[in-house]
Each structure stands twice: as C-alpha cells, then as structure tokens.
Amino acid sequence: MGIGELARRTGVSERSLRYYEQQGLLTAERTPGGQRRYPERAVHRVVRVQELFAAGLCSSKIAELLPGLGDADGGPSAATPALLGQLAVERARLDRMIAELRANREVLDQVIDAAAERTRPPAD
C-alpha cells in the first residue's frame, strides 16, 4: 500500500509516517519510481507506535523496544529481561504521573468547593 493509504487507514499523517521511517520505527520498500510501498503489517506497526507515543515514550525508546514487543501480526514475542526492565521503568514513570495528576485534581476540587461555598447565599 502507498503512504496515502497507510495514512488513511491509521489516521496518522503522511508527514508522521515519513518521520517514523527516518527514526527506524517503520520500513517501506521503494518502487522503481521512488514511491514508498508498505506491507499490510505496517498498519499494526503504526498503531503500536502511536500507542507507545501516547504512553509518553520518545521515538528513540520506541525504536529500541519495538523489536521485542511483538511479531508482524501483533502477537507477543519473547521479551528479554532488559526489555521487561525498561518497560517496568516506563510504567513506574506513568504511575508517578498519575499520582501527581490525582493530587492536582484533589487540590483543584478543594479550591472549587471553597469557592462554591463562598458564593452560596446564606440559609434562612
């Protein structure tokens, strides 16, 4: 499939797909005319890359992790101890971020409650 079809099927811009290729996250064959041609499994690969970006990983970390995350059909592959350790570090980072966001939301809830209390008319 061409880059336009891959972009349509994944919801990822052509520019992003070219970036993924530059970063080693995605590979394409080239036609004699120089056009990119992607295999069907590229759809899953792009979705996986998007998930990892959404989890907060940078492109270099994704490139390092992708080979151990699954086969061309998206199934799990054997994970190395190093890969498992890296994923555990990333998960711990996300857990810290979630805890901070919960604490921030609690502070905001307290401010909202206090402000709402001051704006209520006195009870008769």
CATH fold group of domain 1-77? Multidrug-efflux Transporter Regulator; Chain: A; Domain 2 (1.10.1660)
74's torsion region: left (phi>0), alpha (psi -120 to 50) or beta?
Answer: left
The predicted pLDDT at position 73 comes to 46
Residues of the chain with pLDDT under 70: 68-79, 124
Query: What's this model's pTM, rounded to 2 decimal places?
Result: 0.67
The 8-class DSSP code of residue 80 comes to P
* pLDDT score of 100: 97
Pair of tokens at residue 81: 């101890």
The Cβ of residue 77 has, within 10 Å, a number of other Cβ atoms equal to 11
What's the pLDDT at 72?
47
Identify whether the C-beta of residue 6 lies closer than 8 Å to the C-beta of residue 17.
yes
